[in-house]
Amino acid sequence: MNVLLCVSGGIAAYRACELVSLATKAQHAVRIVMTHNALKFVGSTSFEALSRNPVMADTFADALGHIDLAKWADVAVVAPASANFLGKLACGLADDAPSTVLMALPRGRRVVVAPAMNTEMWLNPVVVRNLQWLKELGRYDIVAPTEKRLACGDVGPGGLAEPADILAQIEESGQRAGGQAG
């Protein structure tokens, strides 16, 4: 299956490397698109080595690259999905490489969303509303964050779900959308 991983900015971005590793070991082809903020947490070189594919972080590096990636993907995943990125998805904004690629994703393709953020951000009514809007669209499969001690020291919901659990949802979503393995 062709898996498009969109990485948004947040401390949990480093855990997306484990997700890429698990997906490639499961024989999925993985391509990565990162926000500029994500690049402040994890460099593109790590993702390129794990996926054996170039990383897109600049929408304008290739005029039609976002369209090509969107058509290539059997399923897309946003991990981690920051509060900011959830807002972009819910409102249909396309102002960086990942959000632009996702806006070009063909109808019928599923998007797995794995949020990660501070507990108060996760519980913020705007974030709750944005997640509800995404669910109502029928295209997005949410992998809820875990409850744990977060990087900020707070304890509560907001930790990125386990990469193995995210991969299981990717595979289920890909099968529902008719994605083919290999």
- Cite the active site residues: 152
How far, in Å, CA of 23 to CA of 32, rounded? 12
Residue among 47, 60, 57, 56 nearest 20 (CA): 47
CA–CA separation, 108 and 81 (whole Å): 21
Can you spell out the DSSP letters for 113-179?
A: EEE---HHHHH-HHHHHHHHHHHHHTSEEE-PPEEEE-TTS-EEEEEPPPHHHHHHHHHHHHHHTT-
